[in-house]
Amino acid sequence: MLGHYLILSGIIFSLGLIGVMTSRNVLKVLLSLELLLAASNLSFVSFSKFNGDYAGQLIVFFVILVAAAEVAIGLAIIVVMYRRLSTIQADELKEMKW
């Protein structure tokens, strides 16, 4: 039973990774980031259930909280980027070359 949940969590996490690595659109990147967090939340909760420890669920509580803050800031950054470059293509952010 636990195994099913873990595999599911892995699949979601991988999909999230693929999204982060291949998205042309920074919004999509941020969304995939949410997927990553969701996958780890699932894994935490399933371990919590199968180990009999509430700590997992509490961690999820805080993770949701932090994720919310992070998304807010991320969106603000995207807005700034849009105003600066008039586009939200990830390719246009090339200045970390040197």
Partner 1 sequence: MSPFFFYLFAAILIFASLAVILARNPLYNVLALVVAIFSLSCLFVLLEAFFVGMILLLVYAGAVLVFFLFVVMCLNLNTVVLSSQQQTRFRWLGSFVGLMFLFSFALAAKSFIRAHAMEPSSIRGTIEVIGKILFTDYLLPFELTSFLLLIAIFGIVSLAQGALSTGKDSENL
Partner 2 sequence: MINANLVWIAFFAPLAACVLITLFFLKCKTSSSLIAIAGILTSFVCSCLVFTQIFQTNPPAELQQSLSWISIDSLTINFGFLINPLAIMMLLIVTGVGSAIFIYSRGYMDEDPSAPRFFAYLSLFAFSMIGIVLSNNFIQLFIFWELVGLSSYLLIGFWYAKPSAADAGVKAFMVNRLSDFGFLCGIILLWSVSDIGSGRSFQFTNLMPVIAHIDPHMLTIIGLLLFCGVVGKSAQVPLHVWLIDAMEGPTPVSALIHAATMVAAGIYLLARTFFIFEPSTTALTIIAYTGAITSLMAAILAVAENDIKRILAYSTLSQLGLMVMALGLGGPMQGMYHLTTHAFFKALLFLGAGSVIYALHHEQNIWNMQGLLKKMPVTGITFLIGTLALCGIFPLSGFWSKDGILALAYTNNTVLYLIAATASGLTAFYMGRLFFVAFWGDAPASRHGAHNHEIHESPAVMTLPLIVLAILSAIGGYIGIPHYLFPQEAPESLNMRVALISSVVALLGLGFAYMIYGKRTASDPLVTKLGVFYTVLQNKFYFDIVYAWYVDNIQQNVALALFRIENGIIDRAIIDGIANLARVGGKAFRYLQNGIVQSYALVFVLGAVLLFLFLIKSYTLIFVVGIVPLLLFLLLA
Residues 18-57 that bind partner 1 (CB under 8 A): 18-19, 21-25, 27-28, 30-32, 34-35, 38, 41-42, 45-46, 48-54, 57
Query: With contacts defined by CB under 8 A, how many residues of the chain interact with partner 1?
Result: 71
What secondary structure letter does DSSP report for 54?
T
d(CA 97, CA 64): 33
Partner from partner 1, partner 2, none contacting 96, C-beta within 5 to 8 A by type: partner 2
> Smallest gap, in angstroms, from Cβ of residue 24 to partner 2?
9
d(CA 24, CA 39): 22
Partner from partner 2, partner 1, none contacting 33, C-beta within 5 to 8 A by type: none
> Smallest gap, in angstroms, from Cβ of residue 49 to partner 1?
5
- Number of helical (H) and strand (E) elements in the chain, helices listed first: 3, 0
Partner from partner 2, partner 1, none contacting 51, C-beta within 5 to 8 A by type: partner 1
CB atoms within 10 A of CB 9: 20
d(CA 46, CA 39): 11
